[in-house]
Structure 1
Amino acid sequence: MDLLLIVRIGGTRVALDASEIESVIELDALSPVPRAPKHLAGLSALRSRVLTVVDCKCALELGTTEFTPGEIHEAAVTEIDGHHYALSVDSVEDVIEAQGDLNPVRAAMGGGWERVAAGMVETGEGPLLLVDIAKLIEGPKKDERAAA
């Protein structure tokens, strides 16, 4: 992990491993998916590929993002096990270099953040939480989803 994509989710500035991100896009149209878990906002298309759109805010149990038709949302595109996902975030800020190794998180952060935390990574702008993308896509645990 050399480069980090810096994003904001639920107002919090965090890092994603840039090597796991294919591109950054603007989402403007979503097709809902009946019976999908709440954190899966719908489907979108990118160059003849179907993207499953993950509402990262909802996946972290920080509320839901309002996907109003015609409104643009920023997202980071990733592929896991042959499936393409668009991670809808508040904003995409920058790509920066990581400085040093990944360190354990030494503070309580709350349920959603603790579930997706890969560790803390040092940057020229200070330490940032590195988010485990696969765990973010999984969303809340089944019993947590049922309670929502």
Structure 2
Amino acid sequence: MTELFLLATIVGQDVAIRSDHVESVVDIGEITPVARTSRAVRGLAALRSRVVTVIDTAIVLDPLAPMATRRRAVVTQVDGHHYALLVDALDDAHRFVPKPLSAGLLPGAAWAAITNGLIEQEGRVVLILDLPRIVARAADGARAAA
């Protein structure tokens, strides 16, 4: 059965995001840093009369990655809180049949921790991001930094 996915790019890797996890796609303005958080938590931003926590997905994947000036974000809600997950680029939404990760197509440990399946697009394998896992990994990094 097909599902609707938003296609994006993070650190040069094409990824897919289930559309029912996406509240909106935005360009983030000013980000206010927050003390005692992980590097992946870039800070807080005002978005349509609410505050969102901004998470840099590239740093979730690699805590030593250089900070970049990413501004495109996917807004999602996890456990009643809003998060803006920064990405390098966003494409369009398309319908695909999701598939489980198979033993022959397991990504590296960092990717495996934030993905929960794959789609095939024009003969290429594209990982499906698990947005709650990304938020949890960013929060785990904040606890480790405290």
Q: For residue 141 of structure 1, report the CA deviation from its aligned partner.
A: 8.4
> Mean Cα displacement is larger for which, 132-141 or 23-32?
132-141
For residues 42 and 88 of structure 2, what CA distance do their matches in structure 1 show? 14
* TM-score when normalising by structure 2: 0.85
Gaps of 5+ in 2: none
Counterpart of 1:27 in structure 2 is: 28
Query: 1:47 corresponds to which letter in structure 2?
Result: R
* TM-score when normalising by structure 1: 0.84
Q: For residue 64 of structure 1, report the CA deviation from its aligned partner.
A: 3.7
For residues 126 and 80 of structure 2, what CA distance do their matches in structure 1 show? 28
Q: For residue 26 of structure 1, report the CA deviation from its aligned partner.
A: 0.3
Q: Residue 104 in 1 paired to residue 101 in 2?
A: yes
Counterpart of 1:38 in structure 2 is: 39
Q: For residue 121 of structure 1, report the CA deviation from its aligned partner.
A: 1.7
Say if 1:47 and 1:141 are closer, same or farther in 2 by CA, change over 3 A.
closer
Instruction: Tell me if structure 1 keeps the 8 A contact 2:100–2:117.
Output: yes
Instruction: Tell me if structure 2 keeps the 8 A contact 1:16–1:130.
Output: yes
Q: Runs in 1 of length 4+ with deviation above 6 angstroms?
A: none
User: Per-residue displacement from partner, 1:34-53 (whole Å, max 9, x unpaired)?
Assistant: 00122111100111111100
Q: For residue 142 of structure 1, report the CA deviation from its aligned partner.
A: 4.5
For residues 117 and 101 of structure 2, what CA distance do their matches in structure 1 show? 5
Q: CA RMSD in A?
A: 2.3
User: Percent same amino acid among aligned pairs?
Assistant: 33
For residues 50 and 125 of structure 1, what CA distance do their matches in structure 2 show? 40
Aligned partner of residue 135 in structure 1, secondary structure: helix
Instruction: Tell me if structure 1 keeps the 8 A contact 2:76–2:84.
Output: yes
Instruction: Tell me if structure 2 keeps the 8 A contact 1:75–1:86.
Output: yes
Size of the aligned set, in residue pairs, is 141
- Larger RCO of the pair (alpha carbons < 8 Å, separation 6+): 2
Counterpart of 2:61 in structure 1 is: 60
Instruction: Tell me if structure 2 keeps the 8 A contact 1:104–1:120.
Output: yes
Counterpart of 2:10 in structure 1 is: 9
For residues 38 and 128 of structure 2, what CA distance do their matches in structure 1 show? 24
Query: 1:86 corresponds to which letter in structure 2?
Result: A
Q: For residue 101 of structure 1, report the CA deviation from its aligned partner.
A: 3.7
Q: For residue 82 of structure 1, report the CA deviation from its aligned partner.
A: 0.9
Aligned partner of residue 113 in structure 2, secondary structure: helix
Q: For residue 124 of structure 1, report the CA deviation from its aligned partner.
A: 4.9
Say if 1:103 and 1:92 are closer, same or farther in 2 by CA, change over 3 A.
same
